[in-house]
Amino acid sequence: MIGKSVPRVDAYEKVTGRAKFTDDMILDKCLVAKVCHATIGNGIVKSIDTSEAEALDGVVKVVTFKDVPNHCYPTPGHPWSVELAHQDVADRNLLTGRVRYYGDDIAAVVAEDEVTASRALKLIKVEYEEYPVVLSPRLSMRGSEHPIHLDKKDNILARSSFAIGDVDKGLEDAAVQIHRSYKTPIVQHCHIENNISYAYMEKGRIVVVSSTQIPHIVRRVVGQALGIPWGQVRVIKPYVGGGFGNKQEVLYEPLNAFLTMQVGGRPVKIELTREETFTNTRTRHSIEYEMTAGVDQEGHLLAKEMITYSNQGAYASHGHAIAANGLTASRLQYACPNIRGEAYTVYTNCPTAGAMRGYGIPQVCYATESFMDDIAYEIGMDPLEFRRKNLIHGYYEDAYLKPIAANSNGIFECLDKGAAYIHWDEKRKAYADQTGDIRRGVGMALFSYKTGVWPISLEIAGARLSLNQDGSVQLQVGATEIGQGADTVFSQMAAETLHMDISRVHIVTMQDTDVTPFDTGAYASRQSFVTGTAVKECAQLLKQRILDYARTLVPGNVDRLELEDGYILADGRQAISLEELAMESYYSLGNSSVLTAEVSRQVKKNTVATGCCFAEVEVDMKLGKIKVLDIVNVHDSGILLNPQLAAMQVHGGMSMGMGCGLSEQLLLDEKTGRPLNGTLLDYKLMTTMDTPDLTAEFVELNDPMGPYGNKALGEPPAIPGAPAIRNAVLHATGIGFAEIPLTPQRLIDGFTKAGLI
């Protein structure tokens, strides 16, 4: 089954509309909760009057920040740590009177229906004391009279640094020194299904049904937020309509759980609007970079330095992990004897930033790969040649975190494949020295990406298999299907190891923390690698138990028993069908033993996926318009478990990367912090009219760390597109833009400043 493009196991349910998402499961007579959001960007609530809202017919309960537990809790979807130093920052309350961004949560209304709840919100009267709003991390880290969090007077959430070799000496020895600055924007995930949950009480316990990537972590955080034992919480995850990291965060589930407790355990729903999803969930970090490098006469990197300023927004969320992940990436791929890096993560009055597909690597890749092109342009070298001269061949490992290693490294094969597809050499020559208002160019960028979070954090996954009476198997995993095809590849893995057709594997899509094996969830491109390891070992264990039981049923002396295509083979001959064996195991009067297997596996390994993007663009300089003519991603993600699903992942990621590079940016009012384009009408996503044919290519190298030779593929496709397009614009026009997205206004400003228009 591995390596075959079998249809998705959830395809029929989804295309027929039978799949049950959270909103499809809402209980009868479910109450509706709405959150009252602050209308200032920084300050405190001086007074709040809820009397009119409480008096409105149909309102069941109104709570404010004065009514909730006063202890703080963490919200990111990270594995918990028993070591205090490695625990997430706890800086969030269910509701707050200290407003830290425009839209902060200060009160909540529970009503019989949505219309009543919305009307009640408008009756809440709030008086504020306002403080100045600061949206820039470099300004915020200077400190202020009113720090965003009292324990961080300079508003710096965290900083980290590393040094390899002697960077100052390397820069002194360089023939050429180059310094550049880069900046990436605030971006929203824009998943189809808005964040939604409902909660109720059953037998003294809280049940939360949520569209989440991390059900087991939601359970823990709800317990922490309410100050109750974690076992008193049950979390159910149905089908999910996309997440991209925004649902790798515990957002309104704790408040929902609190509200059901306040109304006697009646079911309460919190469903965010699209506008709330933009403002009150999570965004991708906007990050600013200062880059310095020195190269010798032949173009070899002698030294490089990167200083990072990450805009965290109002709350810690995933915090410094994103900027730190970028620091790690800056040490990989390129051979350079002297490297130095420093990163700051800073609180501001922006909407809170968290996990988004790529986890900081799209930002650092934009800076690094733009910088590589700018260096090549400065020294007059072809940017592909410059990269080939400086990339590491073969195996390499991270200098600080040695379990992180490129155990198979196909970057040179990827570059060859991408260059051939785009006709790199011919078009670099053909598009040189252009004049006129409409010009063309080709550009490229490459990336590397870890598979999972070990050794920085815990990697653990569970799987359970049961043999059914008809010889099929039931598969349960704690890892979550969120649209990426995980259930399909887990089914393929079980079928591969048990030597049966995938139609005989029945996977349970819904996760329920009361019965589902423990797994930390969908993030870090980890599931086919980490959970795949657990599924493979679980299937091997069940296979062995089947064969052991078969030995009691097969007469005579048999040297070798095998499981193949639904039959037990005794020394190569069909001895008994798996269905017959299963019936015996369930119902034999003399030897009944239902065959199951369960594995919980801590995975202490990591491996690096690599790849590249090549793009051809046409730039209309007077209109400030970029048209992507052709684009290809080439990935070294090990052995492809399902080629069609792999291509699907790449196509989706390419679209996200193009959007980040060309049009997507959440804009905020500089004075108030209010989002200016927080709707799908005003926030410019890529449409089919903006998107060329997307091409996905692969280099398949068997990675020894992967359970089936596989490694990361979920997030990498979104990483290299933006810098590849930017570098194509550099080739076309000679202008290397420092900031994305490359909107018409930004392009026209750049071309005007350069005297091109």
Question: Average pLDDT for residues 686-700, to the nearest whole number?
Answer: 96
Residue range 121-137, pLDDT digits in tens: 999 999 999 999 999 99
240, 359: one domain? no
Residue range 595-631, pLDDT digits in tens: 999 999 999 999 999 999 999 999 999 999 999 999 9
Residue range 461-515, pLDDT digits in tens: 999 999 999 999 999 999 999 999 999 999 999 999 999 999 999 999 999 999 9
Identify the domain containing residue 403 by its residue range: 286-454+605-753
37, 78: one domain? yes
For residue 200, being part of any structural domain is answered with yes
Burial class (CB in 10 A: 0-12, 13-18, 19+), 12: exposed
Last residue of a domain, one of 243, 271, 299: 271
Residue type for position 199 = A
Predicted confidence (pLDDT) at residue 396 exceeds the cutoff of 90: yes
34: nearest Cα among 126, 108, 104: 108
Last residue of a domain, one of 545, 571, 602: 602
* CATH number for 264: 3.90.1170.50
Residue type for position 716 = P
Separation CA 569–CA 563 (nearest Å): 6
Residue range 331-368, pLDDT digits in tens: 999 999 999 999 999 999 999 999 999 999 999 999 99
HEC string for 372-391: HHHHHHHHCCCHHHHHHHHE
**Mean pLDDT over all residues of the chain?**
97
Separation CA 754–CA 757 (nearest Å): 8
For residue 426, being part of any structural domain is answered with yes
Predicted confidence (pLDDT) at residue 678 exceeds the cutoff of 90: yes
474, 546: one domain? yes
580, 626: one domain? no
Predicted confidence (pLDDT) at residue 647 exceeds the cutoff of 90: yes
* CATH number for 738: 3.30.365.10
For residue 745, being part of any structural domain is answered with yes
The residue behind tokens 């094996």 is 517
For residue 69, being part of any structural domain is answered with yes
261, 116: one domain? yes
330, 414: one domain? yes
566, 550: one domain? yes
Distance of CA 187 to the CA centre of its chain: 13
Residue range 420-473, pLDDT digits in tens: 999 999 999 999 999 999 999 999 999 999 999 999 999 999 999 999 999 999
Question: Average pLDDT for residues 648-660, to the nearest whole number?
Answer: 97
For residue 162, being part of any structural domain is answered with no
Buried b (16+ CB within 10 A) or exposed e, 209-234: bbbbbbbbbbbbbbbbbbebeeebbb
For residue 642, being part of any structural domain is answered with yes
For residue 361, being part of any structural domain is answered with yes
598, 609: one domain? no
Helix (H) or strand (E) holding 506: strand 505-507
503, 582: one domain? yes
For residue 87, being part of any structural domain is answered with yes
CB atoms within 10 A of CB 10: 18
Burial class (CB in 10 A: 0-12, 13-18, 19+), 673: buried
263, 382: one domain? no
pTM of the model: 0.97
pLDDT band at 171 (very low <50, low <70, confident <90, very high): very high
Question: Average pLDDT for residues 204-208, to the nearest whole number?
Answer: 98
Last residue of a domain, one of 219, 238, 271: 271
Predicted confidence (pLDDT) at residue 556 exceeds the cutoff of 90: no
Tally of structural domains, the chain: 3
627, 707: one domain? yes
230, 302: one domain? no
Q: What was the pLDDT predicted at 627? A: 97
Phi, psi (rounded to 5 degrees) for 378: -65, -40
Q: What was the pLDDT predicted at 516? A: 98
